[in-house]
Structure 1
Amino acid sequence: MNIAVFYAPERGEPDLRRLALPAGATVGQALQASGMLGAHPELTWIDILYGIDGQRVTLQRVLQDGDRIDLCRPLLVDPMTARRLRAAASKPRR
């Protein structure tokens, strides 16, 4: 089955790797086979979340043909707080 693993580092180019894995492979096995951990050492010390189609998954989830695993870094700023900061910055000062 064909799987893709995607990671967008904080700096640098996004990394998309396509793999062919046997049926019954898990997210953890795909991550190991992709070589993503070796290419991006920060993945070993930050709290990465894994997602497929916008849904959070665990390393034990069994993959289906065509799945794309997204490796998600933790947010640096809450989205609502970031929006308030942008709005405050765009208001003209008196």
Structure 2
Amino acid sequence: MAEDAAASAPLCVEVVFSAQAGQTQEWTLHLPPQACLQDALRAVGLEASACEAGIWGRRAERAQRLRDGDRVELYRPLLVDPKVARRERFARQGARGAGLFSRQRPGGKAGY
């Protein structure tokens, strides 16, 4: 009987979306037990979004069923490849201004 009660209990899920850097929107929803990712997005008005969606940081199909406590996320497309951005940042800062030795003690030996 406890299994039947758990199967009919509403799901509590969190939906998170960041339209732009520094702005995050979060919603806590109570959905029917057989709800899918698309149902959660529809409940907050984001079902038409072309962004990739996922659960707990892993991409997921919009038809995937949700479990209690899931965190549904919408992912913006990357503007710059992170590897390229790191290389460009390093080139701007130079070898002395970045990485492990950027905060070297005054008068200290190189590498310490």
TM-score by length of 2: 0.69
Shift of 1:12: 5.7
Residue segments in structure 2 that go unaligned for 5+ positions in a row? 1-10, 96-112
Aligned to 1:40: none
Given the alignment, which residue of 79, 88, 92 partners 1:89?
A: 92
List aligned pairs for 1:34-49, cutoff 5 A: 34-36=44-46, 44=49, 47-49=50-52
Given the alignment, which residue of 57, 60, 65 partners 1:57?
A: 60
Residue segments in structure 1 that go unaligned for 5+ positions in a row? 38-42
Supply the distance in 2 between the matched residues of 1:83 and 1:11 (Cα, whole angstroms): 18
Aligned to 1:13: 23
Identity of aligned residues (%): 38
Provide, for residues 42-94 of structure 1, a one-character-per-residue CA deviation record: whole Å limited to 9, x for no partner.
x64xx4111112211010000000001010001010110010011011017xx
Aligned to 2:32: 22
* Letter matched to residue 28 of structure 1: Q
Q: SS where residue 76 of structure 1 aligns? A: coil
Equivalenced residues, count: 85
Supply the distance in 2 between the matched residues of 1:12 and 1:83 (Cα, whole angstroms): 20
Q: Kindly indicate which of the two structures has a greater share of residues assigned to helix.
A: 1
| Structure 1 stretches of at least 4 aligned residues deviating more than 6 Å after TM superposition | none
Q: Which has the higher contact order (CA 8 A, sep 6+)?
A: 1
Larger radius of gyration: 2
Q: What root-mean-square deviation, in Å, do the aligned CA atoms of Structure 1 and Structure 2 show? A: 1.8
TM-score by length of 1: 0.81
Shift of 1:35: 2.4
